Amino acid sequence: MAARREGTKTLVPGMPQNIYDQTDFFLGYSRLQRSVLGLAGAPEWPALRAMLPPLSGLRVLDLGCGFGAFARWAREAGAVSVLGVDLSENMLARARAETHDAAVVYRRGDIEQLELDADSFDVVYSSLALHYVANLAAVCALVRRVLTAGGAFVFSVEHPVFTAPRHPVWQRDAAGVAAWPLNHYLDESARVTDWIAPGVVKQHRCIATYVNTLLDHGMRLTRLVEWAPDATLIAHHPDWADEPHRPPFLLIGAQRP
């Protein structure tokens, strides 16, 4: 299959980018606070955790599991099994090295192409992975099929106001007040950004698309959180002071009726 260049990264039509298996990106990502500290280093985690049902006795699927921090936490919270799926060998290698639990299984795979049994999970979770996926409808169809009746789908993505601009750079007025460019908001398509490494491809889609794609696949919306650090967090991280101007993360809870 013919490959093309986008930014500095090779893309194959129909295949996801797998930037986490590129050495420069992976080394940079591994140095982030959330990579070093796990869930404790992810400031949005308490809000996402609050959207989860009690996991005791439940079978959990984690889409884009990364280093496996959530998979291990889910087992401590009582889940009977966790399947973590990720595209990146680098991420899965560390996940496997840090997990000593036969009830946690990691599988290499593309979220968009997964083949899993119907009604085989009680909870599907995904943290900051689905904005890499081009076909959200395929993901929602998968989730609807693999969830048992009453099962929960809880996920986070980069917030659409964060992903909207083609040139995601803060602007400042004469008084130094920050503003975030929101042009191209309704243009739902790939964005190529320089984040950790040049040429990282993410998929921008509107809030309505996240919500309506879930509804179109027979899911019920249970919660929507536009997460930004509060005053307490900003007091500890003064460099986050502008974040509430454009919430970085969107957290969504849904349920299979």
Give the footprint of ligand SAM on this chain (CB under 6 A): 16, 20, 34, 64-66, 69, 85-88, 91, 110-112, 127-129, 132-133
Closest CA to 253 of 110, 89, 143: 143
| Comparison of 20 and 162: residue with beta carbon closer to ligand SAM | 20
Q: Tokens for 161?
A: 């106001």
Q: Shortest gap between Cβ of 11 and ligand SAM (angstroms)?
A: 13
| Comparison of 14 and 257: residue with beta carbon closer to ligand SAM | 14
20: which residues sit within 8 A by CB, 6+ positions away? 26, 29, 66, 86, 87, 88, 90, 91
Q: Shortest gap between Cβ of 175 and ligand SAM (angstroms)?
A: 34
Q: Which residue's CB comes closest to ligand SAM?
A: 66
| Comparison of 85 and 161: residue with beta carbon closer to ligand SAM | 85
Q: Tokens for 84?
A: 């973590």
| Comparison of 133 and 161: residue with beta carbon closer to ligand SAM | 133
Distance, CA of 192 to CA of 198 (rounded, Å): 8
Distance, CA of 8 to CA of 197 (rounded, Å): 9
| Comparison of 35 and 231: residue with beta carbon closer to ligand SAM | 35
Q: Say which residue the tokens 């008084």 belong to.
A: 175
DSSP count for the chain of H helices, then E strands: 9, 13
| Comparison of 43 and 66: residue with beta carbon closer to ligand SAM | 66
Closest CA to 180 of 244, 249, 250: 244
Q: Shortest gap between Cβ of 32 and ligand SAM (angstroms)?
A: 9
Distance, CA of 104 to CA of 77 (rounded, Å): 13
